């Protein structure tokens, strides 16, 4: 089948690399072409508002999916009038707005950090007072990698943060004294079967994922069950098709849902190397109507992102258990350029790669 992918970044790249061996081919659509998918399929460069271009693109594809959640819902609707689009439009709607997302999760009985919305400086102040400080303030839309976020430790910061976030509609979250950040990733296929990946434990630097360990260490059966139940209920409620990721906080042995991504997720990149069917492969299997492959881990995997600049990799390439993945992108501060996955690494190996990838 020809799979159309909205977006042309590294997630699209890894989807195509996983999908070619399944016998599929790929076309991309993006408002500005990324070098990450060059050579893996043609890219239509056009606005997501360009109805005619969207229609032409849909006509070239058998099925359409996306690699980022900020696809305008109207574009998804135009496309789905011509070809199946997975995951479903409602997954986009829910995950594009942090307030709608949190309300959706709570509606399913899933615990989240306490939150308030705020559309004015005075509402922001009231929300901070109601939730207690510190608070995390996020724009409701278009945030990623720590962008569109700020922390308020003192009510005197309210005016500054309101200006910093450009007066955008906000979600204000009570601070959660979490012991760690985890994520749970799962794929649901068209018949409703679900496969669950091992949880990953995530560490960020300056709001951008730095390290993921998969399977996450020291996960109690109770924690694992809670994470799997909550993602399963989201998949079922949305009649989801494809791979979904939910970021979690672990707080005193319980999990709270932080946010969801209706797509493959950076914290699941290690599945390329430590699981038979990666999050990318199972996403493509799901959207093209194939059964799902195994998600049993064959190794403990530790992934480090390569951000901003590509360090000297000779030392890493000499490690037999290191897998370097580069995305074909030009270096730029804060940009995700690749990742390194270590399989069953020693402490020394991990420290070396951690050191190489911590400097950005």
Beta carbon of residue 185, minimum distance to a copy of itself (angstroms, whole number) = 17
Site residues for a copy of itself, 24-53, by CB under 8 A, read 25-26, 38-42
180: its two tokens:
């760690």
Beta carbon of residue 12, minimum distance to a copy of itself (angstroms, whole number) = 12
Q: Does 22 bind a copy of itself (CB under 8 A)?
A: yes
**Among 76, 82, 78, which residue's Cα sits nearest to residue 94?**
76
Binding mask 146-165 for a copy of itself (x = CB under 8 A): --------------------
Beta carbon of residue 17, minimum distance to a copy of itself (angstroms, whole number) = 6
Please tell me the chain's helix, strand, coil percentages from 3-state DSSP, rounded to the nearest 5: 35, 30, 40
Beta strands in the chain (DSSP E): 2-6, 25-30, 42-45, 63-66, 115-118, 135-139, 149-152, 170-174, 180-188, 194-196, 200-205, 208-214, 242-251, 254-261, 301-307, 322-326, 336-343
Burial of 205 (0-12, 13-18, 19+ CB in 10 A): middle
Burial of 320 (0-12, 13-18, 19+ CB in 10 A): exposed
Options 12-20, 44-52, 62-70, 161-169: segment touching a copy of itself (CB under 8 A)? 12-20
Beta carbon of residue 275, minimum distance to a copy of itself (angstroms, whole number) = 10
Beta carbon of residue 37, minimum distance to a copy of itself (angstroms, whole number) = 10
Helix (H, G, I), strand (E, B) or coil at 252: coil
φ, ψ of residue 49 in degrees (nearest 5): -95, -5
Binding mask 288-327 for a copy of itself (x = CB under 8 A): --xx-xx-x-xx--------------x--xx-xx-xxxxx
- What is the secondary structure of 323-337 as a DSSP string? EEEE------TT-EE
Q: Scan for tokens 């797509």, then name that residue.
A: 263
Tell me if 64 sits within 8 A of 26, measured CB to CB: no
18: its two tokens:
């996983």
Beta carbon of residue 343, minimum distance to a copy of itself (angstroms, whole number) = 7
- Which of 21, 221 has the CB closer to a copy of itself? 21
Beta carbon of residue 13, minimum distance to a copy of itself (angstroms, whole number) = 7
Options 55-63, 139-147, 201-209, 285-293: segment touching a copy of itself (CB under 8 A)? 285-293
Beta carbon of residue 203, minimum distance to a copy of itself (angstroms, whole number) = 23
- Which of 27, 78 has the CB closer to a copy of itself? 27
Binding mask 215-254 for a copy of itself (x = CB under 8 A): ----------------------------------------
- Which of 13, 224 has the CB closer to a copy of itself? 13
- Which of 105, 275 has the CB closer to a copy of itself? 275
Beta carbon of residue 204, minimum distance to a copy of itself (angstroms, whole number) = 24
**Rounded CA gap, 151 and 75, in Å?**
34
Rule CB under 8 A: choose which of 5, 6, 15, 17 binds a copy of itself: 17
**Among 57, 55, 33, 61, which residue's Cα sits nearest to residue 45?**
33
- Which of 157, 273 has the CB closer to a copy of itself? 273
**Backbone angle region of 41, left / alpha / beta, with phi > 0 → left and psi within -120 to 50 → alpha:** left
Q: Does 134 bind a copy of itself (CB under 8 A)?
A: no
Residue 226 CB neighbour total at 10 angstroms: 20
- Interacting residues with a copy of itself (CB under 8 A): 13, 16-17, 20-23, 25-26, 38-42, 273, 276, 285, 290-291, 293-294, 296, 298-299, 314, 317-318, 320-321, 323-328, 338, 343
């Amino acid at each position: 089948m020809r799979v159309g992918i909205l977006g042309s970044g590294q997630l699209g790249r890894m989807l195509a690399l996983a999908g070619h061996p399944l016998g599929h081919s790929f076309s991309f659509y993006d408002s500005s072409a990324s070098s990450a998918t060059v050579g893996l399929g043609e890219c239509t460069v056009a606005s997501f508002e360009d109805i005619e271009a969207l229609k032409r693109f849909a006509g070239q594809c058998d099925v359409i999916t996306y690699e980022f959640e900020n696809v305008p819902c109207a574009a998804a609707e135009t496309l789905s009038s011509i070809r199946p689009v997975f995951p479903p439009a409602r997954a986009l709607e829910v995950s594009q707005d942090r307030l709608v997302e949190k309300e959706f999760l709570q509606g399913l009985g899933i615990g989240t950090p306490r939150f308030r919305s705020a559309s004015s400086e005075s509402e922001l102040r009231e929300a901070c007072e109601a939730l207690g400080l510190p608070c995390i303030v996020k724009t409701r839309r278009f945030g990623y990698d720590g962008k569109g976020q700020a922390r308020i430790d003192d009510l005197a910061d309210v005016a500054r943060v309101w200006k910093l976030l450009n007066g955008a509609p906000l979600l204000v979250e009570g601070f959660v004294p979490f012991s760690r950040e985890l994520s749970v990733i799962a794929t649901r296929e068209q018949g409703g079967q679900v496969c669950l990946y091992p949880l990953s434990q995530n560490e960020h630097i300056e709001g951008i994922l730095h390290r993921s360990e998969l399977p996450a260490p020291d996960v109690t059966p109770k924690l694992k069950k809670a994470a799997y139940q909550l993602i399963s209920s989201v998949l079922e409620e949305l009649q989801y098709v494809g791979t979904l990721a939910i970021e979690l906080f672990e707080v005193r042995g319980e999990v709270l849902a932080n946010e969801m991504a209706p797509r493959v997720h950076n914290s699941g990149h290690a599945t390329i190397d430590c699981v038979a069917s990666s999050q990318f492969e199972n996403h493509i299997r799901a959207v093209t109507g194939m059964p799902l492959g195994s998600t049993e881990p064959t190794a403990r995997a530790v992934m480090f992102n390569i951000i901003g600049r590509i360090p000297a990799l000779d030392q890493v390439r000499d490690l037999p258990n290191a897998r370097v993945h580069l995305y074909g992108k030009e270096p730029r501060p804060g940009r995700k350029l690749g990742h390194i996955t270590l399989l069953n690494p020693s402490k020394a190996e991990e420290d070396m790669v951690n050191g190489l990838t911590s400097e950005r």
